[in-house]
Amino acid sequence: MRKLTYLLYGRGATKFETNESFQLLFQCWSLVGIKPLKLYRLRGMLHMCFCWALLLLCPFTFFMGYLHTLETEPITVQLNILQAICNIIGLPLKAIAITILLTHLRSAEPNFARLDARYQSVASREQIKNCVVVSTRLLASVGFMFHFYGSTAYLQALLTRGYPMGEWLPFIDYIPRLTIRYWAHFIFEVFHVTFLLTVQASMDAFPAVYIRSLRTHLKLLTERVSHLGENPEFTDEQNYDELVDCIVTHQELLEAKNTLGSVCSLTLFVQFVVVAAALCVSMLNCFVFADRQQQVVTAIYYFGVIMQIMPTCYQASMIEADSAKLPDSIFHCNWLAMDKRSRKLIIYFLHRAQKNITFVALKFFNINLTTNLSIIKFAFSLYTWMSNMGFGDNFKDLLE
């Protein structure tokens, strides 16, 4: 197992493997209890129980905290907590789905290992190494964005002598001494929110990391197919075997894609619904109720919510475009130099490669940049409608 700095900067003497793209992801999941550290050790079981207690109780503690703020806090603080609750509700559902399907997800690793074994040239290994580096940086960037929002919420809470998310913590909130109660509540809430942000970042980024690995091997296959029949030293039998191996490689890519699609279908559906709701609340809060300080925090949260689906939608759109190049490469290979048997097989391969590689969230949403833009437009359209109806101003006057 390589060090994190080696994965981020591509250092190390040994060859990089595609499965190393998921190393940081599984380390995060081990840290937050999704993947057991040591299944049959007492400390590992206690760690998992503690993490799942934090995860499963978070919707209840946040919602109860929101109910308490209805009587004590201004509307902008209430909306800040409400937009966080939109994300919190979906988090346990995604975590449960990943935990159940984790073994199925990891069944794609042997496919990636077999795909790696086919590429030993310097250029091919460099592409695999670049895939590992980009995937690791992608997950690290999403995590940094989420924790940056968390840091602004902590700082704002300190400046206003409040709490970052206003959770309801009965065992702490009933401490009689105000100073001890405040700092105990603040420290625990910072720890809890940091934990939840780590879970959220790993849940949102894992489809993008896997799709990026699929894209790398799809590009390698497309390059390999484009050179079929060009080696003058190959016999007809060797050209045929090379073509068969390309078809097998394509089938293994589709198997890995189907494995990933079955796992992320439910989680991405939940995420799309959550993001649409959170964006609506954020825009209402930012443009109607928030003061300047709250607008900065809400804007950071807004971009953080967009980042929850943007990397996956981008990678899914790119793999659609990459898969469309494969039939062109098959058609433009040197099939004239191959025998009749190979030409017939090329027709079959060309027919099978016509279907683009796409991902769908529960057969409702195509996962691509078009859907991402549609969700953002929906949130803006809903805000515009509420603004034209005077909902925000009327509600603000009612509160005042």
Residue by residue, DSSP assigns 313-328 as HHHHHHHHHHHHHHHH
pLDDT score at 353: 86
Longest dimension (CA), the chain: 87
**Where in the sequence is the domain holding 279, given as residue range(s)?**
21-399
Among 144, 262, 165, 147, smallest CA distance to 210 is for 262
Among 28, 34, 89, smallest CA distance to 271 is for 89
Whether 9 maps to a domain, the answer reads no
User: What is the mean pLDDT, run by run of 10 residues, along the chain of 400 residues?
Assistant: 79 83 89 76 81 87 78 69 76 88 89 89 89 91 85 82 79 80 87 89 89 93 86 82 89 91 85 79 67 67 77 90 88 82 86 85 81 78 68 51
Whether 6 maps to a domain, the answer reads no
pLDDT score at 293: 65
Whether 82 maps to a domain, the answer reads yes
What are the C-alpha distances in Å from 370 to residues 265, 320, 365?
Answer: 17, 12, 10
Residue 161 tokens read as: 């002598």
Chain center to CA of 17: 21
Q: What is the C-alpha separation between 203 and 225, in angstroms, rounded?
A: 34
- Tell me if residue 21 falls in helix, strand or coil: helix
Among 9, 12, 257, smallest CA distance to 115 is for 257
| Structure-token match 């894209």, residue found | 215
| Structure-token match 């995060």, residue found | 28
pLDDT score at 399: 45
Residue 37 tokens read as: 């550290």
- Helix locations, the chain, DSSP H: 4-9, 23-31, 42-72, 75-106, 109-117, 122-160, 170-173, 178-226, 236-284, 292-331, 340-352, 369-388, 391-399
Q: What is the C-alpha separation between 221 and 240, in angstroms, rounded?
A: 16
For 237-271, b where at least 16 C-beta lie within 10 A, e where not — what string?
eebbebbeebbebbebbbebbebbbebbbbbbbbb
Residue 338 tokens read as: 């191959």
Whether 2 maps to a domain, the answer reads no
pLDDT score at 271: 84
Q: What is the C-alpha separation between 269 and 366, in angstroms, rounded?
A: 10
Whether 293 maps to a domain, the answer reads yes
CB 8 within 8 A of CB 133: yes
Q: What is the C-alpha separation between 306 and 312, in angstroms, rounded?
A: 11
Whether 1 maps to a domain, the answer reads no
Whether 4 maps to a domain, the answer reads no
- Tell me if residue 19 falls in helix, strand or coil: helix
pLDDT score at 32: 86
**Domain count of the chain?**
1
Residue 57 tokens read as: 């109780």
Distance between start and end Cα atoms, the chain: 59
pTM of the predicted model as reported, rounded to 2 decimal places:
0.87
pLDDT score at 391: 57
Whether 186 maps to a domain, the answer reads yes
Among 294, 291, 307, 289, smallest CA distance to 383 is for 289
pLDDT score at 220: 92
Count of positions (residues) in the chain: 400
pLDDT score at 398: 45
